[in-house]
A and B are shown apart, each in its own frame.
Chain A
Amino acid sequence: MGEDLPLEFVDVEPAGYCDPETGLCLTPEEPEEIPPEDDGTA
């Protein structure tokens, strides 16, 4: 492949990936836990 050409990267959030540095696999599309609502009493 043309490794000498600079790469352009797609502007798309991956559905998931494994981090090449840590090896950890992440799934951004997993629904995040919803934090408790602020009831204004703090």
Chain B
Amino acid sequence: MEIDVWADVVCPWCYLGEERLSKAVEQSPHDITLNIHTFQLDPSASTEVMPLLDYLGPHLGLPPARAREMEEGMVRLAAADGLPYVVDRPVASTFDMLRAVQFGIEQGVGWAYLRALQAEVFGGNPKAFEHDTIVEAGEKLGLDAGELRAVLASDRYAEAVRTDHDTAIRLGARGVPFTVLGGRLGVPGAVSVDQYAAAIEQAWEKTHG
């Protein structure tokens, strides 16, 4: 069964949701393939890297102290899932990252590549958005560095990023991450490992029952 997930690199709940979904898939007796699709949450975000809290406060209309408090809540939730989560991390437009992920999808490593880039961002790497970092993360997955640099230096895969975004909206995504199991069952947002496991069973019944 195919499971399709729409996510962004900087989306905290995508980061946690993918980890939980991965665990549910590992526990499942069924033969499952995970497919990643990109979803750029803030197409208006600047390419200039800034500290997350400087972006988040005005974006959410919250004082910096409250934005930090919310992020510290996410630190605790991520830790419960065994994931590092740094509050003082950089943020910028993810468009180039997502174009690179689209190249990774074409090469069969899209899921791992998006997660590797999330690890750079949520791990607090101040250079997470630099092309060198994006290329190095791809190289570790076997992607060709020269090809990746050519992608990043061009507008290749821009249309694929926009198409993925539009597809999620057309399918009725009310929350990101947006997961579609077996092409039949939608899960908007991130749920628990047990709830993902139950959704896998429900979708399996629909497609194989």
Contact = CB atoms under 8 A, between A and B. Distances in A.
Given A27-B70, A27-B73, A8 B175 contact: no
Interface string A1-42: 111010111101011111110011101001000000000000
Report which residue of A7, A12, A16 has the largest number of chain B beta carbons within 10 angstroms of its beta carbon. A16
A20 B7 CA distance: 10
B186 A10 contact: yes
Q: Which of A2, A3, A25 has the most CB of B within 10 A?
A: A25
B13 A9 contact: no
A25 B70 CA distance: 10
Interface size class, chain B: 35 or more
Interface string B35-66: 10001011000000000000000011000000
A5 B203 CA distance: 13
Given A1-B4, A8-B185, A10-B185, A19 B175 contact: yes
Contacts of A19: 175-176
Q: Tell me if A's interface is mostly helix, strand, loop or mixed.
A: loop
Interface stretch (B23-31, B109-117, B149-157, B163-171): B163-171
A10 B175 contact: no
Contact of A16 (B16, B39, B202): B16
Given A1-B2, A1-B35, A30-B73, A18 B175 contact: yes
Interface of A: 1-3, 5, 7-10, 12, 14-20, 23-25, 27, 30
The 8 nearest A-B residue pairs measured at CB = A14-B189, A17-B189, A17-B175, A2-B183, A23-B41, A16-B13, A23-B42, A7-B186
